[in-house]
Structure 1
Amino acid sequence: MTVLSVEHFEQMYADEDPFGYRSRWYEQRKRDILLGALPYARFARGWEFGCSNGELTAQLAPRCDTLLATDLSQQAVELASARVQGLPAVTLQQAAHPSDWPEGLFDLIVFSEVGYYLEAPAFEETVALFARSLTARGCLVACHWRHAFEGALRSAEQVHGALNHALAMDTLCVYQDADFVLQAWMSGPSIAQQEQLR
């Protein structure tokens, strides 16, 4: 298995949409499913770990009072900055996690399409830190491609299995199809209970 370098991602983001986030129905549909899985209409403080070119960032921003979006690639951060121009809630940062871990607590963390790339010590530390970085009623959403590819150090099932093990939280929902798995965790009352439907 090959560990992909920072330089690899910088070169990749010379193309402003290397994964087809802006052009593929598959990607639009996946974002819609993720956004629909969120348990609250609004969040006080969100964090998107691995913001890529900012397509999901732009759709998360209206749901958050403040949104931190980070990526390992400076080129990706610049593309995301252009995408979210005019959205004052968003703060963008180039960061290598877990060493550059943000301070404070979040009521939303989105961990999408990045769990396979982290080397073992960094992945294990990241998963442990997630559990300490959420508010009491915070939500973590993870979404990953289910097929093997060059540069993946673990499968989607392994990423989500590690999160299940580390997070002392209820599973809010799981969506899985032939190509990706999406899972959300949250502590506290269900969405129906929050709105006094039961």
Structure 2
Amino acid sequence: MSVDEVVTALHRVIGLLPTSALQQVADQLDDARHTLAASTYGSSDPELLSAVDGYAQAWEGLDSVGQSCHHVAAVLHEYLTAIGGAAVSAGVPPVSPDSSSRVAEPHSQPRRQFISVDRLNPEQATNLKRYEGKLPSKHEPVEIEQLSDGAVRMSSKVPSNNIPGSYAEYIKVVDKEGNTVQYVKDTYGPDGVLIHRKTKM
């Protein structure tokens, strides 16, 4: 099999991966679970708690399959690049090994350096505009934190419509080239306790 045939075959495999469809279903299921979890927060009703757990387990199953598809696509993308094939736009940019820790543990850094929009380079500023454009309309002002490797962490809180004191925080890490490294949505209860984390990419 020639290199061109390998490239064509890999393109076909990546195109057949149901990543987008799985993500849409998982997002809808997670939104329903989030709504149910928020409306039953603090409840001790076993049936309601069981329903929330059921939604969570179903979402985790779908998310696991979706993450596997993302991983397969990323591996194939890297292989295509290595053999000189054209870059594949599969919706899965390569993720650096330490990207998860940069989002998951913002307080682990001894000093957090927040910057203004004018400190962003043009590529990061363009990503910021996309990020702000997709936030819910009543989001709070975006905070931008400078990271040690030239990347930035963008975050904004969105108050819950139904539960006073509850809110979601949208956190996006963008590298110095303007590429999104990771994007998560954290949901907090009125007491500030993390209820759920949703990986948006």
The normalised TM-score by structure 2 is 0.23
Mark the structure with the bigger radius of gyration. Answer: 2
Q: Name whichever structure is richer in helix by fraction.
A: 2
Q: Name whichever structure is richer in strand by fraction.
A: 1
The normalised TM-score by structure 1 is 0.23
Higher relative contact order structure (alpha carbons within 8 Å, sequence separation ≥ 6) = 1
